[in-house]
């Protein structure tokens, strides 16, 4: 009896162990054939650390190879929350140094992770202060941070890159595909405590970004911004823009706006400060648009310089609208109509031409279409087709009303006259190079079309020279140089669609020297007070910029690059 019970117990124990053994075998079989890949990946994650290797973002240079944007080393702070013993003390200390909210740091340090970012690309001073704390569980990784050595200068041309070194505005955004490069990666080994060893299992090196060389000249940009800033502040304006262009190539030598912002502190800038008004702000041009009407009249042989027009002593009815001049005029020659900026005289010329001709020449001069400049955000402007004009449009469009333009379009238009009647495509980047200085892509001047004949261009140069010498643009005459140009004063539209009697855009467009143009310059001042006439608020800016820029070009710069008419010659 006793022996039988003992044997039964032994068999039961044996059976239990046998079943357990079979279960272990089955479990091992399952792990080996069905879970091996998953468990192996967990083991690799524990002992291998994947690290992305950041590429060098390309630099941005001005036309004389002076750096405008480049990357500098910067520390980024991370934490291993499980290794930090006194988290509350760490939160208080870090919040004071990094200027971060304690709740933000507390939430990140409470996460159950072995790695968490606390702050990216901090200043050297912040890094030094944190290292002095000697808090176990904090560490630094070397990254790179975008730096803009000139701060405010050319901010609306250069733009900025974000924390991840991706371009977000202007040239940084438009040419990001060249500048950003390609990230690499490496797999480093870690010990049992998850600390990285200086041993790597595999690696792919990053591919550095290419450098971009602008057409902008740092010296000309400084001159333009200095004078624009003076006018912007002196006339209490809401905004202002200036463009300096090589009329023979379309290269932008300077482009600036007010208000502006510091590229190194772009996070604190408003959308209004970051907006590139030169290419994305729409406004009625006013009398500067008269260069289109005048050029069309000469090109079509409808008038000559000495033809006389009666300007009705300041009042002229067009359909049901009374058109006025800023001062009363009687008989004026066609030349004087432009010099004195007579609305009535210009309208009478336009009535001879007809709506279709005025519209056609406006398009030939580049209005109502994007110029194709290599910057993001450009708008096309607005101009109704002639078949949609009202009965009063013939007295509005030829003098710059019922038309929406950008400052860049005005720069293109005045460059047509300076460039013997040929419209050029504006551009902001001249070449892309690798870090060794080898040119990978070069951008050449490109002709868009011939807008007017060379003869008409020459005649218009003489008329616009008279505007500066004898007419409304006397304050635009550079010291020691000749100039040609046109003033403009446009009423802004109210919210109800009526023209304002208090808000204006004062502008001046021109080129210098008049007989051999080196630069075309456009200046627009938005809502200046108390003076608002373009010949008063914008013309002096042109004068000062043209004087200093021509002097600089004559002494410090080689002749302009040879004109290349076919854009297809650009290398891809």
Least confident segment among 36-50, 260-274, 396-410: 36-50
Q: What is the pLDDT of residues 476-492, one digit of tens each?
A: 999 999 999 999 999 99
- Tens digit of pLDDT for each residue in 72-95? 888 888 888 877 888 888 888 888
CA dist 149 and 21 (Å) reads: 73
- For the chain, percent of residues with pLDDT exceeding 90: 62
Rounded distance, CA 60 to CA 158, Å? 8
pLDDT tens figures, 362-380: 999 999 999 999 999 999 9
Strand order in the sheet with 519-526: 252-258, 239-245, 519-526, 499-512, 484-493
Q: What is the pLDDT of residues 403-454, one digit of tens each?
A: 999 999 999 999 999 999 999 999 999 999 998 889 999 999 999 999 999 9
Chain-centroid distance of CA 458 in Å reads 34
Q: How far does the chain reach from its first CA to its final CA, in angstroms?
A: 100
Q: Is the pLDDT confidence value at 148 over 70?
A: yes
User: Within its chain, how far is the Cα of 502 from the centroid?
Assistant: 31
pLDDT tens-digit map of 184-197: 766 655 555 555 54
**pLDDT tens sequence across 537-557:** 999 999 999 999 999 999 865
Active site residue 8: no
Report the distance separating Cα 50 and Cα 9, nearest Å: 56
What is the share, in percent, of the chain residues with pLDDT greater than 70?
88
* Position 141 pLDDT exceeds 90: no
Contact between residue 319 and residue 268 where contact means Cβ atoms under 8 Å apart: no
- Overall average pLDDT of the 346-363 stretch: 96
CA 308/CA 332 separation, integer angstroms: 5
Please provide the average confidence, as pLDDT, over all residues in the chain: 87
Angle at 500 between CA 499 and CA 501, to 5 degrees: 120
**List 287, 295, 415, 507, catalytic entry:** 287
- What confidence category does residue 2 fall into, taking pLDDT thresholds of 50, 70 and 90? low
pLDDT value at position 101? 87
Lowest mean pLDDT among 7-16, 52-61, 400-409, 491-500: 7-16
User: In the predicted model, is pLDDT for residue 201 greater than 80?
Assistant: no
Residue 225 has pLDDT above 50, yes or no: yes
What is the pLDDT, as a whole number, of residue 51?
A: 58
Distances in Å between the Cα of 340 and the Cα atoms of 34, 311, 344, 551 are 91, 11, 11, 29
Q: What is the pLDDT of residue 12?
A: 74
């Amino acid at each position: 009896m006793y022996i039988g019970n003992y044997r039964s117990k032994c068999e039961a124990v044996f059976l239990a162990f046998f079943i357990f053994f079979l279960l272990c075998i089955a479990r091992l079989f399952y792990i080996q054939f069905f879970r091996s890949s998953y468990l192996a990946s967990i083991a690799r994650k524990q002992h291998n650390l994947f690290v992305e290797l950041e590429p060098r973002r390309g630099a941005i240079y001005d036309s004389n190879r002076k750096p405008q944007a480049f990357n500098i080393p910067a520390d980024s702070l991370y934490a291993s929350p499980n290794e930090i013993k006194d988290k509350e003390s760490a939160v208080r200390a870090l919040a004071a140094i990094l200027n971060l909210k304690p709740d933000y740091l507390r939430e990140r340090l409470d996460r159950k992770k072995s790695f968490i970012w606390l702050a990216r690309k901090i200043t050297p001073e912040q890094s030094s202060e944190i290292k002095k704390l000697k808090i176990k569980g904090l560490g630094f990784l070397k990254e790179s941070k975008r730096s803009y050595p000139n701060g405010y200068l050319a901010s609306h041309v250069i733009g900025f890159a974000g924390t991840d070194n991706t371009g977000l505005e202007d040239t940084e955004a438009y040419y990001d595909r060249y500048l950003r490069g390609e990230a690499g990666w490496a797999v480093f080994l870690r010990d049992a405590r998850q600390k990285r060893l200086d041993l790597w299992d595999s690696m792919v090196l990053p591919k550095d970004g290419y450098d971009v060389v602008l057409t902008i000249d740092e010296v000309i940009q400084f001159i333009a911004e200095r004078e624009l800033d003076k006018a912007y502040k002196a006339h209490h304006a809401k905004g202002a823009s200036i463009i300096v262009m090589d009329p023979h190539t379309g290269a932008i030598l300077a482009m600036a706006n007010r208000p502006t912002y510091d590229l190194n502190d772009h996070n604190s800038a408003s959308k209004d400060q970051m907006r590139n008004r030169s290419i994305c702000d729409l406004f009625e041009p006013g009398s500067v648009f008269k260069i289109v009407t005048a050029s069309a009249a000469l090109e079509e042989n409808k008038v000559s310089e000495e033809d006389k027009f009666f300007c009705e002593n300041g009042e002229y009815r067009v359909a049901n609208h009374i058109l006025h001049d800023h001062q009363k005029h009687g008989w004026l020659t066609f030349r004087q109509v432009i010099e004195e900026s007579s609305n009535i005289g210009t309208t009478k010329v336009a009535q001879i031409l007809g709506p279709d001709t005025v519209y056609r020449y406006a398009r030939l001069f580049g209005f109502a279409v994007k110029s194709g400049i290599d910057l993001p955000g450009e708008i096309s402007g607005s101009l109704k087709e002639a078949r949609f004009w009202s009965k009063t449009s013939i007295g509005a469009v030829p003098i710059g009303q019922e038309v929406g333009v950008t400052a860049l379009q005005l720069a293109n238009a005045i460059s047509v006259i300076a460039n013997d009647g040929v419209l050029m495509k504006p551009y902001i980047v001249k070449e892309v190079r690798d870090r060794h200085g080898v040119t990978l892509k070069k951008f050449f001047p490109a002709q868009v079309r011939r807008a007017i004949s060379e003869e008409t261009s020459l005649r218009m140069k003489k008329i616009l020279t008279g505007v500066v010498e004898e007419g409304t643009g006397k304050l635009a005459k550079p010291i020691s140089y000749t100039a040609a140009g046109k003033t403009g004063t446009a009423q802004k539209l109210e919210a109800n669609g009526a023209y304002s009697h208090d808000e204006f855009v004062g502008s001046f467009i021109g080129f210098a020297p008049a007989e051999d143009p080196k630069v075309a310059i456009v200046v627009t001042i938005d809502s200046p007070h108390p003076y608002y006439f373009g010949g008063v608020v914008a013309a002096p800016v042109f004068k000062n910029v043209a004087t200093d820029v021509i002097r600089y070009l004559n002494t410090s710069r080689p002749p302009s690059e040879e004109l290349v008419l076919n854009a297809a010659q650009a290398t891809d």
